[in-house]
Protein backbone atom coordinates (compact mmCIF):
# COMPACT_ATOMS: atom_id res chain seq x y z
CA UNK A 1 0.00 0.00 0.00
CA UNK A 2 2.98 2.37 0.54
CA UNK A 3 3.30 5.18 3.01
CA UNK A 4 0.02 7.03 3.68
CA UNK A 5 1.56 9.94 5.57
CA UNK A 6 2.94 12.97 3.61
CA UNK A 7 5.15 15.05 5.83
CA UNK A 8 4.33 18.23 3.73
CA UNK A 9 0.56 17.97 4.30
CA UNK A 10 -0.71 19.40 7.56
CA UNK A 11 -3.92 18.57 9.36
CA UNK A 12 -4.78 15.38 7.64
CA UNK A 13 -3.28 16.10 4.23
CA UNK A 14 -5.94 18.39 2.71
CA UNK A 15 -4.00 21.76 2.37
CA UNK A 16 -0.84 22.59 0.52
CA UNK A 17 1.83 23.91 2.78
CA UNK A 18 2.92 27.49 2.20
CA UNK A 19 6.09 28.90 3.44
CA UNK A 20 5.77 31.95 5.72
CA UNK A 21 6.03 35.32 3.91
CA UNK A 22 9.41 36.87 3.89
CA UNK A 23 10.22 40.07 5.72
CA UNK A 24 10.74 41.90 2.42
CA UNK A 25 7.24 41.07 1.16
CA UNK A 26 5.65 42.23 4.43
CA UNK A 27 7.55 45.47 4.31
CA UNK A 28 6.39 46.04 0.71
CA UNK A 29 2.75 45.52 1.61
CA UNK A 30 3.05 47.82 4.60
CA UNK A 31 4.64 50.45 2.37
CA UNK A 32 1.76 50.17 -0.11
CA UNK A 33 -0.77 50.46 2.72
CA UNK A 34 1.04 53.47 4.09
CA UNK A 35 1.07 55.10 0.66
CA UNK A 36 -2.63 54.44 0.23
CA UNK A 37 -3.33 55.89 3.67
CA UNK A 38 -1.25 58.95 2.76
CA UNK A 39 -3.26 59.43 -0.43
CA UNK A 40 -6.54 58.99 1.45
CA UNK A 41 -5.41 61.60 3.99
CA UNK A 42 -4.38 63.94 1.19
CA UNK A 43 -7.76 63.54 -0.53
CA UNK A 44 -9.52 64.09 2.76
CA UNK A 45 -7.54 67.32 3.33
CA UNK A 46 -8.33 68.49 -0.19
CA UNK A 47 -12.01 67.73 0.36
CA UNK A 48 -12.06 69.77 3.55
CA UNK A 49 -10.33 72.67 1.81
CA UNK A 50 -12.79 72.56 -1.09
CA UNK A 51 -15.72 72.42 1.35
CA UNK A 52 -14.33 75.46 3.18
CA UNK A 53 -13.80 77.34 -0.08
CA UNK A 54 -17.33 76.48 -1.23
CA UNK A 55 -18.80 77.79 2.03
CA UNK A 56 -16.76 80.99 1.69
CA UNK A 57 -17.90 81.40 -1.90
CA UNK A 58 -21.53 80.98 -0.88
CA UNK A 59 -21.06 83.57 1.87
CA UNK A 60 -19.46 85.98 -0.61
CA UNK A 61 -22.28 85.38 -3.10
CA UNK A 62 -24.81 86.23 -0.39
CA UNK A 63 -22.87 89.43 0.36
CA UNK A 64 -23.01 90.35 -3.34
CA UNK A 65 -26.75 89.58 -3.46
CA UNK A 66 -27.36 91.75 -0.40
CA UNK A 67 -25.32 94.58 -1.91
CA UNK A 68 -27.21 94.27 -5.21
CA UNK A 69 -30.57 94.42 -3.42
CA UNK A 70 -29.37 97.48 -1.51
CA UNK A 71 -28.28 99.20 -4.73
CA UNK A 72 -31.64 98.36 -6.33
CA UNK A 73 -33.50 99.84 -3.36
CA UNK A 74 -31.34 102.97 -3.44
CA UNK A 75 -31.98 103.30 -7.17
CA UNK A 76 -35.74 102.94 -6.61
CA UNK A 77 -35.66 105.55 -3.83
CA UNK A 78 -33.62 107.91 -5.98
CA UNK A 79 -36.04 107.46 -8.89
CA UNK A 80 -39.00 108.25 -6.65
CA UNK A 81 -37.21 111.31 -5.23
CA UNK A 82 -36.39 112.48 -8.75
CA UNK A 83 -40.00 112.09 -9.84
CA UNK A 84 -41.23 113.96 -6.76
CA UNK A 85 -38.71 116.72 -7.39
CA UNK A 86 -39.71 116.92 -11.06
CA UNK A 87 -43.40 117.23 -10.19
CA UNK A 88 -42.61 119.79 -7.48
CA UNK A 89 -40.60 121.81 -10.00
CA UNK A 90 -43.49 121.61 -12.43
CA UNK A 91 -45.84 122.81 -9.69
CA UNK A 92 -43.54 125.74 -8.97
CA UNK A 93 -43.37 126.61 -12.64
CA UNK A 94 -47.15 126.42 -12.87
CA UNK A 95 -47.58 128.75 -9.91
CA UNK A 96 -45.03 131.16 -11.40
CA UNK A 97 -46.97 131.27 -14.65
CA UNK A 98 -50.18 131.92 -12.74
CA UNK A 99 -48.60 134.76 -10.75
CA UNK A 100 -47.11 136.21 -13.91
CA UNK A 101 -50.46 136.14 -15.67
CA UNK A 102 -52.14 137.80 -12.69
CA UNK A 103 -49.43 140.46 -12.53
CA UNK A 104 -49.81 141.17 -16.22
CA UNK A 105 -53.55 141.59 -15.86
CA UNK A 106 -53.05 143.99 -12.95
CA UNK A 107 -50.09 145.79 -14.49
CA UNK A 108 -51.53 147.37 -17.62
CA UNK A 109 -52.26 144.44 -19.92
CA UNK A 110 -54.87 144.96 -22.59
CA UNK A 111 -58.31 144.33 -21.08
CA UNK A 112 -61.53 143.98 -22.97
CA UNK A 113 -64.95 144.77 -21.53
CA UNK A 114 -66.82 141.96 -19.78
CA UNK A 115 -69.80 142.50 -22.03
CA UNK A 116 -67.56 141.76 -25.01
CA UNK A 117 -66.53 138.40 -23.47
CA UNK A 118 -70.17 137.60 -22.82
CA UNK A 119 -71.11 138.40 -26.38
CA UNK A 120 -68.25 136.30 -27.71
CA UNK A 121 -69.18 133.43 -25.38
CA UNK A 122 -72.55 133.27 -27.10
CA UNK A 123 -70.77 132.18 -30.26
CA UNK A 124 -69.26 129.11 -28.56
CA UNK A 125 -70.73 125.78 -29.61
CA UNK A 126 -69.35 123.28 -27.08
CA UNK A 127 -72.13 120.74 -26.96
CA UNK A 128 -72.93 119.79 -23.39
CA UNK A 129 -69.93 121.48 -21.79
CA UNK A 130 -70.75 124.07 -19.17
CA UNK A 131 -69.66 127.68 -19.85
CA UNK A 132 -69.89 130.07 -16.88
CA UNK A 133 -69.31 133.77 -16.36
CA UNK A 134 -67.07 134.31 -13.31
CA UNK A 135 -66.44 137.99 -12.78
CA UNK A 136 -64.09 139.13 -15.52
CA UNK A 137 -63.46 135.65 -16.91
CA UNK A 138 -65.31 132.82 -18.59
CA UNK A 139 -64.92 129.23 -17.42
CA UNK A 140 -65.36 126.17 -19.65
CA UNK A 141 -65.72 123.10 -17.43
CA UNK A 142 -64.34 119.75 -18.66
CA UNK A 143 -65.08 116.70 -16.47
CA UNK A 144 -61.77 115.01 -15.66
CA UNK A 145 -63.35 111.55 -15.62
CA UNK A 146 -64.10 111.98 -19.34
CA UNK A 147 -60.48 112.92 -20.05
CA UNK A 148 -58.28 110.86 -17.74
CA UNK A 149 -58.05 107.44 -16.23
CA UNK A 150 -59.13 108.21 -12.67
CA UNK A 151 -56.28 109.18 -10.38
CA UNK A 152 -53.73 109.61 -13.21
CA UNK A 153 -52.49 112.29 -15.57
CA UNK A 154 -52.78 110.01 -18.59
CA UNK A 155 -55.31 111.12 -21.20
CA UNK A 156 -57.73 108.46 -22.39
CA UNK A 157 -58.05 107.76 -26.14
CA UNK A 158 -61.56 109.23 -26.03
CA UNK A 159 -60.26 112.58 -24.68
CA UNK A 160 -59.74 113.87 -28.21
CA UNK A 161 -63.49 113.83 -28.81
CA UNK A 162 -63.75 116.57 -26.17
CA UNK A 163 -60.48 118.46 -26.53
CA UNK A 164 -60.33 118.74 -30.31
CA UNK A 165 -63.71 120.47 -30.89
CA UNK A 166 -63.17 122.61 -27.79
CA UNK A 167 -59.80 123.79 -29.11
CA UNK A 168 -61.33 124.50 -32.52
CA UNK A 169 -64.01 126.69 -30.92
CA UNK A 170 -61.49 128.54 -28.77
CA UNK A 171 -59.24 129.22 -31.76
CA UNK A 172 -62.23 130.56 -33.68
CA UNK A 173 -63.95 132.65 -31.01
CA UNK A 174 -61.05 133.64 -28.71
CA UNK A 175 -57.93 133.64 -30.90
CA UNK A 176 -56.17 136.37 -28.88
CA UNK A 177 -57.42 135.88 -25.30
CA UNK A 178 -55.14 134.44 -22.63
CA UNK A 179 -56.51 131.08 -21.45
CA UNK A 180 -55.62 129.38 -18.18
CA UNK A 181 -55.86 125.61 -17.79
CA UNK A 182 -56.85 125.01 -14.18
CA UNK A 183 -56.88 121.52 -12.69
CA UNK A 184 -59.06 120.44 -9.75
CA UNK A 185 -59.72 117.12 -8.03
CA UNK A 186 -61.56 115.76 -5.02
CA UNK A 187 -60.10 115.25 -1.56
CA UNK A 188 -59.71 111.47 -1.82
CA UNK A 189 -56.35 110.17 -0.46
CA UNK A 190 -53.67 109.44 -3.07
CA UNK A 191 -52.52 105.81 -3.05
CA UNK A 192 -49.58 104.73 -5.23
CA UNK A 193 -48.94 106.01 -8.72
CA UNK A 194 -46.63 108.83 -9.76
CA UNK A 195 -48.70 111.55 -8.06
CA UNK A 196 -48.18 111.78 -4.33
CA UNK A 197 -50.63 114.62 -3.72
CA UNK A 198 -53.71 116.27 -5.21
CA UNK A 199 -51.57 119.16 -6.45
CA UNK A 200 -49.17 116.79 -8.20
CA UNK A 201 -52.10 114.99 -9.84
CA UNK A 202 -53.74 118.17 -11.13
CA UNK A 203 -50.35 119.47 -12.26
CA UNK A 204 -49.86 116.34 -14.37
CA UNK A 205 -53.39 116.63 -15.78
CA UNK A 206 -53.15 120.31 -16.72
CA UNK A 207 -49.76 119.63 -18.30
CA UNK A 208 -51.26 116.85 -20.41
CA UNK A 209 -54.10 119.12 -21.58
CA UNK A 210 -51.62 121.90 -22.39
CA UNK A 211 -49.52 119.49 -24.43
CA UNK A 212 -52.59 118.29 -26.32
CA UNK A 213 -53.90 121.77 -27.10
CA UNK A 214 -50.53 123.03 -28.35
CA UNK A 215 -49.09 119.98 -30.08
CA UNK A 216 -52.20 118.41 -31.57
CA UNK A 217 -54.76 121.21 -31.68
CA UNK A 218 -52.32 123.91 -32.77
CA UNK A 219 -53.10 126.53 -30.14
CA UNK A 220 -50.24 129.04 -29.50
CA UNK A 221 -48.12 128.19 -26.47
CA UNK A 222 -48.01 131.85 -25.40
CA UNK A 223 -51.81 131.90 -25.21
CA UNK A 224 -51.98 129.20 -22.54
CA UNK A 225 -50.76 128.65 -18.99
CA UNK A 226 -51.56 126.04 -16.34
CA UNK A 227 -52.58 126.21 -12.68
CA UNK A 228 -52.74 123.14 -10.41
CA UNK A 229 -55.41 123.75 -7.78
CA UNK A 230 -55.40 120.28 -6.21
CA UNK A 231 -58.46 119.75 -4.04
CA UNK A 232 -59.00 123.48 -3.48
CA UNK A 233 -62.25 125.23 -4.43
CA UNK A 234 -64.59 122.21 -4.63
CA UNK A 235 -67.79 122.82 -6.53
CA UNK A 236 -69.78 120.17 -4.64
CA UNK A 237 -69.73 118.28 -1.36
CA UNK A 238 -66.86 115.76 -1.33
CA UNK A 239 -68.81 113.46 0.98
CA UNK A 240 -70.97 112.18 -1.88
CA UNK A 241 -69.89 110.27 -5.01
CA UNK A 242 -71.67 112.77 -7.26
CA UNK A 243 -69.96 115.65 -5.50
CA UNK A 244 -66.51 114.07 -5.93
CA UNK A 245 -67.20 113.54 -9.64
CA UNK A 246 -68.13 117.22 -10.03
CA UNK A 247 -64.97 118.28 -8.22
CA UNK A 248 -62.70 116.30 -10.56
CA UNK A 249 -62.49 118.74 -13.46
CA UNK A 250 -60.37 120.83 -15.80
CA UNK A 251 -61.48 124.44 -16.26
CA UNK A 252 -60.40 126.47 -19.28
CA UNK A 253 -60.43 130.02 -17.98
CA UNK A 254 -60.72 132.71 -20.66
CA UNK A 255 -59.35 136.11 -19.62
CA UNK A 256 -60.18 139.49 -21.14
CA UNK A 257 -56.40 139.99 -21.49
CA UNK A 258 -55.03 139.51 -24.99
CA UNK A 259 -51.55 138.36 -25.92
Q: What is the residue-level pLDDT of the chain in tens, covering all 259 positions?
A: 555 555 555 555 555 656 666 788 778 888 888 888 888 888 888 888 888 888 888 888 888 888 888 888 888 888 877 877 777 776 666 666 665 555 554 444 444 444 578 788 888 888 889 999 888 899 999 999 999 988 899 999 999 999 999 999 999 999 999 999 999 999 988 776 667 899 999 999 999 999 999 999 999 999 999 999 999 999 999 999 999 999 999 999 999 988 8
The fold of 117-258 is 60s Ribosomal Protein L30; Chain: A; (3.30.1330)
End-to-end CA distance of the chain: 150
Between CA 120 and CA 112 the distance in angstroms is 11
Between CA 253 and CA 134 the distance in angstroms is 9
Between CA 56 and CA 234 the distance in angstroms is 63
pTM of the predicted model as reported, rounded to 2 decimal places: 0.57
**What are φ and ψ of residue 224, in 5° steps?**
-115, 150
Amino acid sequence: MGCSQNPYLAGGGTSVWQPPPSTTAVNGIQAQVAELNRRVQLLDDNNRQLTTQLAQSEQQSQVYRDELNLVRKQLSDTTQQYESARIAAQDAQTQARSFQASAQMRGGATIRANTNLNQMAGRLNLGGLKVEQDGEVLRVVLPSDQLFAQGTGQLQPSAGAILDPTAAQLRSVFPRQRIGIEGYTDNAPMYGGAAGSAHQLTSAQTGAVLDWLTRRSGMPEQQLFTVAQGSNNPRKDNTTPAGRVANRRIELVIYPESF
